[in-house]
Amino acid sequence: MKNFTRIILLTGLLVFLGLSAHAAGNSGSLPKQDWSFKGLFGTFDRTELRRGLQVYREVCAACHGLRLLRFEKLEGLGFTKEDIKVIASNYEVEGDLNSEGEPTTRPAEPKDHFVSPYPNETAARAANNGAYPPDQTLIVKARSGGADYIHALLTGYQDPPSGLNLSQGMYYNTVFSGNQIAMAPPLSEGLVEYPDGTPATVHQMAHDVTTFLAWASDPEAEERRQMGIMVLLYVLIFACIMYVLNRRLWKTVKG
């Protein structure tokens, strides 16, 4: 019984340490930003998410897709079903073949995924001097440093140091590997107009769109995190109960 109690307590400790380590992430030497969704009890700020969606739609969507995200998931940002229908209807997706067997298009519906700006990778490279704009759905998870890296990349454009000759069509970025990136600076002061009056600085837009992309990479993250906390609490409570029962049992035996 004593060994069983120790196992329960050790399990609870390992679960807690595992959740904490996962929540903390690894941002290396990148400037650390204040993210509402970080930490064991972190949650996404819905206002930031909605602003981030606006930045994505008005700026990023011209080159980058979100092919794994369905429009209906935007309900998690506080949009109503009618709002989502309106947002989706602004995009065109493949429809059924017509009576002559030719492909057609139709307005997107909430069940559809976000539409890629290019029909295929070849077209994407042709429009971007050979560079391929990656899909943004999992970009935060795919890059070492996660959200801190994406924010640093978006705000890391500078004039190249004296004596450095950039390759044709490349831009200097302090964060990107090799410091030369094919993507032109996507953000500039006042590029979008936030309905809530928030100043659209480069830092603010980078923060908002990174928050949205972090959410888009895992829209169910909050639910799973809450479930993990509930499981942890259950394990700890169960361990305490077993400890008390164990003490009473052995006290009776010794008596």
pLDDT tens figures, 89-112: 999 998 888 888 888 999 999 999
**184 within domain boundaries:** yes
Q: Determine the pLDDT at residue 102.
A: 86
**161 within domain boundaries:** yes
The more confident residue out of 25 and 173 is 173
Average of pLDDT values for 77-84?
96
How far is 45 from 199, CA to CA, in rounded Å?
17
- Please give the mean pLDDT across all residues of the chain: 86
Tokens of 75: 């309900």
Note the residue count of the chain: 255
* Residue pair 202/188 in contact by the 8 Å Cβ criterion: yes
**83 within domain boundaries:** no
**Beta-bridge mates of residue 96:** none
CATH number at residue 179: 1.10.760.10
| Per-residue pLDDT band at 188 (split at 50, 70, 90) | very high
| Per-residue pLDDT band at 254 (split at 50, 70, 90) | low
**Residue 62: which domain range?**
31-66+135-218
- In the predicted structure, residue 202 carries a pLDDT above the cut 60: yes
User: How many structural domains comprise the chain?
Assistant: 1
Q: Determine the pLDDT at residue 225.
A: 74
| Per-residue pLDDT band at 243 (split at 50, 70, 90) | confident
- Sign of the alpha-carbon dihedral angle for 88, 50, 196, 80: positive
**235 within domain boundaries:** no
| Per-residue pLDDT band at 255 (split at 50, 70, 90) | low
Average of pLDDT values for 113-119?
93
**247 within domain boundaries:** no
Structure letter (DSSP) for residue 48: H
**52 within domain boundaries:** yes
Percent of the chain with pLDDT over 70: 88
- For 8-32, write each residue's pLDDT tens digit: 444 444 444 444 444 433 444 888 9
**153 within domain boundaries:** yes
